Amino acid sequence: MADVAKVAGVSHQTVSRVLNDHPNVRAETRTRVLAAIDQLGYRRNLVARALVTRHSRTLGVVSFDTTLYGPASTVYGIEQAARDAGYFVSIVSLRTIDRAGVHDALEYLAEQGVDGIVVVAPQRSAARALADLPAGVPMVAVEGDHAGDVSVVSVDQVEGARLATEHLIGLGHETVWHVSGPSDWLEAEGRIAGWRGVLIAGGRPVPEILPGDWSPRSGYQAGQKLARMEEVTAVFVANDQMALGVLRAFAEAGVEVPGRVSVVGFDDVPESEFFSPPLTTVRQDFGAVGRNSIEILLRQIEAGQDLPHERLVVPPLFKVRASTAPVRR
């Protein structure tokens, strides 16, 4: 910067002013400085700036397995929204979710001087780990526990499950079986709650849950069991990947979908429209989740974080395709 100042024949402060679009710089001086910058190939040092301004313009994101469609889409949405707002994004992807892991990640980001943190905390254990967060750093949780002490943005899982289950009941099915996600996941719990709620409200029997782990394989195994049960006519599967496994198991066992059994998934992955048959499912607007979480976070950062915690719920969208049909009498 000093070099640029020398070449342009001004002080380093004027160079700084040009770089920060300060109004009180003569047009001619500005041109001269810009020319010097160009000539020297000067690039400003954001680290030094962060040191004095105490703002890094970097946001931290803590997530779990960004290979999964849900987290990947959420993180993508967050990243886009952050960059649009002029912020960098520093990501920590956890391999396993445990309190220590989340805590370390948070501490790690806080040391790095991020201005705020978004935690994609879909597990109960992760949500709990937010309790001992680094003080002084604004934070928002995505898909987290709404009981905690932070702002939360999430898709309404209960509502999504309700839509799915009601759709199946509406088609005349006596009751609906459920292949769930892993028990620690908040999303899995929400989907169970929504499903169970509809059944109970309608006075329907509540079948035993078939537990899965989000993977197609676990769906496949659940599907094999369901295929052997004559009484099953409708299944609500907690995500599309497992639904694919269920469909596969049904296909192998000669169980027709939607002829004998109707199947509904959750997520609306891009593939689900091309499953056999195309899957009726619940779409989550991950882009909206990302945008909203960044919006709330930035508001907290600007306000100095003594804002009341917000709870924002994004509504899901139900997509009817070809894997559901009226019950066959």
Residues 6+ apart with CB under 8 A from 207: 175, 176, 177, 178
Query: Least CB distance from residue 239 to DNA, whole Å?
Result: 44
* φ/ψ bin of 305: left (φ > 0), alpha (ψ from -120 to 50), beta (otherwise): left
| 95 interacts with DNA by CB under 7 A | no
How far is residue 28 CA from its own chain's centroid? 48
| 44 interacts with DNA by CB under 7 A | yes
Look-up: residue for tokens 């509540």? 206
Query: Least CB distance from residue 114 to its own copies, whole Å?
Result: 10
| Nearer of residues 149 and 274 to its own copies, judged by Cβ | 274
Strands, sheet with 177-180, edge to edge from the N-terminal-most edge strand: 210-211, 177-180, 234-237, 262-264
Given its own copies, DNA, none, residue 275, with its beta carbon under 5 to 8 Å by kind, binds its own copies
| 11 interacts with DNA by CB under 7 A | yes
Span near DNA by CB under 7 A; candidates 43-51, 216-224, 240-248, 298-306: 43-51
Look-up: residue for tokens 């088609």? 171
Within positions 237 to 256, which residues make up the interface with its own copies, using CB under 8 A? 241, 244-245, 247-248, 251
| 305 interacts with its own copies by CB under 8 A | no
| 51 interacts with DNA by CB under 7 A | yes
Give the separation between CA 63 and CA 75, rounded to whole angstroms: 8
| Nearer of residues 115 and 166 to DNA, judged by Cβ | 115
Query: Least CB distance from residue 26 to its own copies, whole Å?
Result: 25
Give the separation between CA 151 and CA 168, rounded to whole angstroms: 34
| 136 interacts with DNA by CB under 7 A | no
| 14 interacts with DNA by CB under 7 A | yes
Look-up: residue for tokens 């924002």? 312
Q: At what angle do helices 286-303 and 69-84 cross, to 10 degrees?
A: 40
Q: Give the binding-site size for its own copies (rule: CB under 8 A).
A: 55
φ/ψ (deg, to 5) at 89: -130, 125
Query: Least CB distance from residue 317 to its own copies, whole Å?
Result: 18
Helix ranges restricted to H, the chain: 2-8, 12-19, 27-40, 46-53, 69-84, 99-112, 124-129, 157-170, 186-201, 216-227, 240-253, 286-303
| 225 interacts with DNA by CB under 7 A | no
| 52 interacts with DNA by CB under 7 A | yes
Single out the residue of 6, 7, 16, 88 in contact with DNA (rule: CB under 7 A). 16
CB atoms within 10 A of CB 143: 27
| 49 interacts with DNA by CB under 7 A | yes
| 274 interacts with its own copies by CB under 8 A | yes
DSSP letters for 166-222: HHHHHTT-S--EEEE--TTBHHHHHHHHHHHHHHHHTT---PPPEE--SSHHHHHHH
Token pair belonging to 32: 């001269």
Given its own copies, DNA, none, residue 23, with its beta carbon under 5 to 8 Å by kind, binds DNA
CB 163 within 8 A of CB 222: no
- What residues line the site for its own copies (CB under 8 A)? 41, 43-48, 50-51, 56, 58, 65-67, 69, 72-73, 75-76, 79-80, 83, 88-93, 95, 107-108, 110-113, 134-135, 215-217, 219-220, 241, 244-245, 247-248, 251, 270-271, 273-276, 278
Footprint on this chain of DNA (rule: CB under 7 A)? 1-2, 5, 9-14, 16-17, 19-20, 23-26, 28-29, 44-45, 48-49, 51-54
